[in-house]
Structures are given as C-alpha cells and as structure tokens.
Structure 1
Amino acid sequence: MRTRPSVFDVLNVLVLTAIAISTVLPFVYVLAGSLASEAEIGERSFFLWPREVVTGTYRYIFATNGAFVRSLIVTIAVTAVGTLVHLALTFTMAYPLAKRRLPGRNLLLSLVVFTMVFSGGLIPLYLVVRNVGLLNSYWALILPAAISPFYLIIVKNFLQELPVELQEAAEIDGCTELGVFWRIVLPLSKPILATMALFFAVGIWNDFMSPLLYISDPSMWTLQMFVRQVTVSPDVNSTLGVGDPNIQPPEQGLKFAVIVVATLPILLMYPFLQKHFAKGMLIGSVKG
C-alpha cells in the first residue's frame, strides 16, 4: 500500500531543490556569459542562455602566447603530484595509528588533535617555508599542508574498522607489515582513497592563498592566481601576455571563460569518484 508523503517530506524536497537551483544558477550564468557577445553581456543583467553562441573568448585564451595554458598545466601538475603526496603521507601515518597495540598511540593522537585546535599562525608558517628554501617552488604548494589532521582522523577511523582477521591471516602466511598494508589494507580502502583523493585534489586546485604567499614569479602562477589577475587587472592584454596593442579581447566574456575553464576540470572528477564518495565519508567518520 502506497503511503502519501508527509508535509515534512514535501518541504524537505522543496528546500533542497531551492538550494540546488541556487547553487547551479551562478555557474550556468557564468557559462552562458562566456558564450555571449560583449554587447549582450552589457545589455542583459542576467541570462541563462545567450541569444547567439560565440566561442571567440575560448579561442582567444588558448591562442595567446601561452600564459593561460601554462598556468593550467602548472595547476594540473601540482594537483596530481600534491594529491599523490597527500594520500601517501596521510595513509602511511593513519595506518599505524589505527593499530591499538601501537606504543604511544594515545599520545600521538593527542598531538594530532592538538594541531587541529592550535597552530603557529600564518607568519610563522611563512618563515618556515622561507627558511627551508621553498619560496618560488611548487613544493611550497604541496608540503606545508601535506597532512591534514581532520582527514587523518577520518582515514584512521576507516582503517580501524577493517577486518583484523584478514590482516592477521596475512601475517600468519608470512606477509610483512608493509605487505599487509599494500596487499590487504589498500585494496579494501578504495572508498576512503577515492574520497580523500577528491578532497585533496579540490583543495589543491582551488588553493589561492599558498601561491599568493609563496610564488612571486608570474611565470609560475597557478590557475587560481591567473583567474584572480584576469578578473581584477585593468589591462587584460598584459595579463595574457599579448604584445599587440591592437588586439582587444572581449573583457567580460573573457573573465567568464577563464572561470569556466578553471572550474570545469575539477568538476568533472566527481562523477568518476561518486560511487565511493558517500561510503568513504560515512564509514570513516562514524566511529572513533
């Protein structure tokens, strides 16, 4: 027998639908603006579909002397390497902390939690990065935040819930601790691996503060720094590195196009990791 939906269910659906629409609309507007002409952008304050589709802005940013493409390649490389480094360090630290027999485990966990509440601050962090010689280095965008205490605890909780019997059986068969980790633990950790990879990749891709602090060479700019410079600079030609003063880019459409290209790659990652995402977050965060 089918039951009628309650008032709460109806309100819940309406509220969530409104939130979803309010989240998607700005991106749809930016996408429509990137495909519209400068005249239409000036005439219409808000639209979700251009009267005439114009792709000149995308051809322009990819046809310049490489400033935008270079920042895109830099961001892709830093995101890929940074995600691997974050995953490797987080899992290799979380695995021993998930062992209840580890000597000093409670002290180590207390120190991890302590760093979630207290930190040295921005200036001491900058001084450390400078003194170890990481300024104007891509490693400055990866190593200072290589291990997040919050994500470390989530991964530790997930690994703690894995069947101990499988690990003990592997050890009885002669498998080393490293072998257990590589052959047993990691294959069973695909949900949390996918979840953490998504979080780390999004965090590195969208990171604006680190390159702003540690990178002063414009040729080493990441995509977020480039987007910021394009949106605030009065001279778009100089930002793109175009030497011909006769070339006048479509400024508003150009800004929209740069934002779309900066958002789309990381947005396309989610469908490939979605099936592991919910499971990884739930299992990793319920028990401590």
Structure 2
Amino acid sequence: MKIKMSRGEKIFQVVNYFVLSIIVLVCLYPMWHVAMASFSNSTQLMAHSGFLLKPMGFNMQAYLKVFQNPMILKGYANTLFILIVGVILDLIMTALAAYFFSRKGVMFKKPLMLLILFTMFFSGGMIPFYLTLKDMHMINSRWGLIVPFMISTYNMIILRTSFESIPDSLTEAAKIDGAGHMTILFRIILPLSKAIMAVMVLYYGVSIWNGWFWASTILRDRELYPLQVILREILISNDIQAMNGGAGGDAEAIAQSIKYATIMVATVPILFVYPFLQKYFTSGVMIGAVKE
C-alpha cells in the first residue's frame, strides 16, 4: 500500500535531497579536480583558474614522471608491508583482547577495562613514547610503525560488544565438546563476526595507509619511507627533482601536474578497497555499537 505524504513531508524530502546533493558535490569535487588536473597538459593547467570539470589537453606525462621516481615504488612496497603485516597483527591482538573482555566471570575484568579506557583520554605524550620506542630498538625500523599500534582501544570496545552479542549457548556447547578458548575464538566467534571484522580491516587499513607522522619521526633511512611520507615530501617540501628531470622551461608547470598525479597514485588504491567491504560496513558497525 502506497503511503500518501503530506505537503510538509514532500517539501522536507525535496530540501533533504537538495542539501545532501550539495554535500556530496562538496565532498567529491576536490577529488574530481585533482583527477582532472593530473591528466591535464601542464602548460594549460598553469594558465587555468577556477573549476576544472574535464582534463585540459589530456596526457599522461605527469604519471610517467611519477613512476620514474624509484622512491614511489619503494614507498608502495614499504606501505604494503606495514599494511599487510600490521592489519593481520592488529586483528589478532584486538580479537584476543575483545574475547577476553567479552567473557563472563573474568577476574579483575572491570579494573583492567578501566585501565584500558584510561589510555583513550590520557597518555604519556610524544617524548615518552619516542623514548620507549628507542629503548625497544624500534627507531629506524618498520616494526616501530606496527608493534606499538597493534590495538586500538576504540576498535577493541566495538569488537568486544559484538562478541558479547553472540549467544552463550554456542560457546557452552563447544566447551561441553571439549573446545578450549582458542578453538572457541577462532572456530566459532570469529566466523560469526565476519561483518565486524571487515569493519576492523577497514578502520585499521585506512589508519595505516594514511599514517605519516610517526613514520617521518622514527625513520631515518629514506629507503624505509612509506608512501605517505614520500607524498608529503613532494607536496610540502616540493621535492620533485627525481621526477622533474628533463622538463626544461616547463619545470614549474610539470611540477604542478606531478603533485596532482602523486596524490592520485597514493589515494586511489585505498579507495578501491571500500566497495568490497561496504556491504559489511553498516551491519558491522551496528552489531558492534555500544549498548547497555
């Protein structure tokens, strides 16, 4: 049966769609501008001002220059190593912690949880954290970007809440059959938590992919730089010598196109991950929502 909307509801729906459309355009246009600029002719791009809706003199020169820089490929390799190893370890450690705090009758459960929650609001600061990494011999090591960040308190709380929603009868039946905690976690709890685990992959993956601050702080060898640190050098420090050779009088023009192309190279891969996880995202977040 079709529900007839009142005049006020129709007006609200039209205004709602209009406002949301404006928000979508505001969010998408910057990325569209960067994409079109990266495919534009450098000289024409420098002479243009205002909105950019299509490439100006389509060419791939900027992308060819970007991939001529050996640091881009090394940055990709370092980022992929940190991403793959980091996400795997993050999921394992977060799942272990969430499982522990989701069980009933655990000794000192509340005091331990309060101590963990305390770290969400207060920390020792950057200098003590850096000195800790130094004492652990993780300065100038990719492991310094993985080990200290293996558990996010926020993500652990979401995962714990999701585990608590699984009926106790399943775990009790497994215990009767002789299953231990590791068997219950990896063969019962995690297979039933695919949606929330997909959300964890997205949260941790985006965080690692976009991370640049601690990488720029603890890494000394440029061969270990992840992609985002290299991107920062190109955009902020204007370090494009490795890509700008032979540009001649158009050096300044090609520099702008190179910056746009570098942004696309560093951004597009993580954007392609989201569509594969989107179907799990909404249900996963709702399952892991904080509840009383």
Question: Which TM-score applies when normalising by structure 2?
Answer: 0.92
AA aligned opposite 1:56: Q
Aligned partner of 1:266 among 263, 270, 280: 270
Q: Post-superposition shift, 1:234?
A: 4.1
Show the counterpart of 1:58.
Answer: 63
Show the counterpart of 2:4.
Answer: 3
Identity of aligned residues (%): 34
Cα distance in 1 for partners of 2:246, 2:63 equals 19
Q: How does 1:167-186 map to 2 (within 5 A)?
A: 167-186=171-190
Q: How does 1:49-198 map to 2 (within 5 A)?
A: 49-64=54-69, 66-198=70-202
Cα distance in 1 for partners of 2:222, 2:177 equals 55
Q: Deviations over 1:225-260 (max 9, x none)?
A: 11111112345114x5x7xx5355621111001000
AA aligned opposite 1:283: I
Show the counterpart of 1:215.
Answer: 219
Residues 1:171 and 1:251: Cα distance change in structure 2 (over 3 Å): same
- Larger mean CA deviation between 8-17 and 178-187 belongs to 8-17
Aligned partner of 1:230 among 224, 227, 234: 234
Q: Post-superposition shift, 1:152?
A: 0.9
AA aligned opposite 2:26: S
Cα distance in 1 for partners of 2:159, 2:87 equals 15
Show the counterpart of 2:246.
Answer: 246
Cα distance in 1 for partners of 2:239, 2:289 equals 48
Cα distance in 2 for partners of 1:235, 1:226 equals 9
Cα distance in 1 for partners of 2:12, 2:140 equals 54
Q: Which runs of 4+ in 1 moved over 6 A?
A: none
- Larger mean CA deviation between 136-145 and 1-10 belongs to 1-10
Cα distance in 2 for partners of 1:235, 1:79 equals 25
Say what the alpha-carbon RMSD is for the aligned residues: 1.6
Residues 1:109 and 1:57: Cα distance change in structure 2 (over 3 Å): same
Q: Post-superposition shift, 1:193?
A: 0.4
Q: Post-superposition shift, 1:170?
A: 1.2
Q: Secondary structure of the equivalent of 1:124? A: helix
Show the counterpart of 1:36.
Answer: 40
Gaps of 5+ in 2: none
Gaps of 5+ in 1: none
Q: Post-superposition shift, 1:90?
A: 0.5
AA aligned opposite 1:3: K
- Tell me if the contact between 2:45 and 2:56 (Cα under 8 Å) persists in the aligned partners: no
Cα distance in 2 for partners of 1:247, 1:39 equals 12
Question: Which TM-score applies when normalising by structure 1?
Answer: 0.94
Q: Post-superposition shift, 1:195?
A: 0.1
